[in-house]
Amino acid sequence: MEVNGSRKRETYHHGALREELVEACVRLIEAEGIAAVSLRRVAREAGVSPGAPYHHFADRAALLSAISARGFELLTQDLLGAVGRRGTTSGGDEVARTVAAYVAFARRQPGHFQVMFRPELSEPEKHPAVQEAGDAALQVLTELVGRLGVADPHALGLTLWATGHGLAALALDGLLTQKAETWDTDPDDLLARAVGQIGRSVDALTGLPGETRQHEA
């Protein structure tokens, strides 16, 4: 079952194989899941022999790393867009919008997202570009939280990162839809309510006297 038909080339050299491999791989993940991704299969989709990819990527992990790094770049752009938007009424609103952007990204780019948070696939310790791109994305959240004036911005940044990631993972795995059915609500609505609640709780946290007192001690 070919996702792209793997039409034959008339030229010996492909011309833009690197890009096509990345695209074919993302397409494949979105269509059949990460389990269906093999380098040979990706090569086939791109209409190229099994050995060809190795002139552009050191190994399978390198291809997935490229996708992961690109994904973090796209995510960073989305987060920056959410943070920079006008009409902010409170820090909580801004946080809610950012978390929503996080989840929206995962649903719009499921192929990238599924690779980004599976470190055993992309071996980030061998591919520092992934680490750097990931740090840049987290940085957006950290700076946003820093402006909120909360007592422990690092802890909050970490929590928001974890929550955004967790919600996105649940949405992708179908657990969100499943739970929404059990609870007899709309999945998108459920998600929106969860995100809104996060925003309100952040607002509550910034206004808490107990929060600031903690670090004064």
Partner DNA sequence: TCTCCAGTCTGAGCAGTGTTCAGATTATGA
Partner DNA sequence: TCATAATCTGAACACTGCTCAGACTGGAGA
Q: Which residues bind DNA (CB under 7 A)?
A: 9, 11-15, 17, 37-41, 48-52, 54-56, 58-61
Binding mask 62-91 for a copy of itself (x = CB under 8 A): ------------------------------
Three-state secondary-structure class, residue 148? helix
CB of 90 to a copy of itself, least distance (A): 11
**What residues numbered 2-61 form the site for a copy of itself, per CB under 8 A?**
33-35
Asked if 159 is part of the footprint of a copy of itself (rule: CB under 8 A), the reply reads: yes
- Please identify which residue in the block is written with the tokens 């980004």: 116
Of residues 74, 72, 37, the one with CA closest to residue 57: 37
* x/- letters, 117..156, toward a copy of itself (CB under 8 A): xxxxx------------x---x-------------x-xxx
Instruction: Give DSSP secondary structure letters for 53-114.
Output: GGGT-SSHHHHHHHHHHHHHHHHHHHHHHHHH-S----HHHHHHHHHHHHHHHHHH-HHHHH
Determine the Cα–Cα distance for residues 60 and 42; give it in Å rounded to an integer: 10
Q: How far is the CB of 2 from DNA (least distance, A)?
A: 12
Shorter beta-carbon distance to DNA: residue 40 or 193: 40
